[in-house]
Structure 1
């Protein structure tokens, strides 16, 4: 029997190595990733989501600093992600943000459901506003009164 925490920690290791193939081996073929980016279903979509971050932040590194090891349904960890924006990064509106050279520090948590030694659902939670602010972006509002 595969240790569920071994799978969860293996995902963190593969993410830190930016090894998409090794990462995908830990997911079922029809796994679901839920994140602030959206919902990704299956290996192709899950790989695409992570590749966007690896492209924009080639030195992206997650440091897990808390594991809720008293439960495995779901398996919860808290992490801090750091990296430097040195590659193009896809924004929610479909534009690419050209490299800014800015460093980011992003706090987050994730929950994984592992069955038969594979991740079937993985949920990442982080504050997109925190990320975009560190990249130098700002909120704007439409002003219908000025139109």
Structure 2
């Protein structure tokens, strides 16, 4: 039965393959994915999250540069790259139209396993860095 480390690798491989079926199969029915963009509860919402990233960044890839070798959680540091070629949902409900801009965002994630499936997945990255690379500016006032 796969542990958190093995499941983290499976998730990243499925993400890089843009394979929603393989990706969904990694998660428990009631799993929770938490990112700076918000929380997704359940396998279906998690699959929609990844699908929206694949549509917004059709060449999105996550390059792993460090794996912590422990069974649970599976902890990975990565760099996400891609070109903003499609609609991309924003935190708070808006949608950004394709900008053609390239992104490079460093982050990390932790996958907790139970009974061979991911039950909790947390990804951490700088949302302001991503938005800045997409051409958004921070307006105060």
TM bin (shorter chain): over 0.9
Whether the 8 Å contact between 2:5 and 2:111 is mirrored in structure 1 is no
- The runs of 5 or more residues in structure 1 that have no matched partner are 143-147
SS in 2 for 1:125: strand
- The residue that corresponds to 2:66 in the other structure is 66
Aligned residues between the structures: 141
- The residue that corresponds to 1:57 in the other structure is 57
SS in 2 for 1:110: strand
SS in 2 for 1:77: strand
For residues 9-58 of structure 1, the C-alpha deviation after alignment (integer angstroms, 9 at most, x for no partner) is 11111001111111010111111101111111101111121112111100
- The residue that corresponds to 1:145 in the other structure is none
- The residue that corresponds to 1:21 in the other structure is 21
CA drift of 1:2 comes to 3.1
CA drift of 1:141 comes to 1.3
CA RMSD of aligned residues (A): 1.2
Q: Which has the higher contact order (CA 8 A, sep 6+)?
A: 2
- The residue that corresponds to 1:88 in the other structure is 87
Whether the 8 Å contact between 2:38 and 2:91 is mirrored in structure 1 is no
Larger radius of gyration: 1
**1:1-147 map, 5 Å:** 1-69=1-69, 71-142=70-141
Give the alignment's TM-score, normalised by structure 1: 0.91
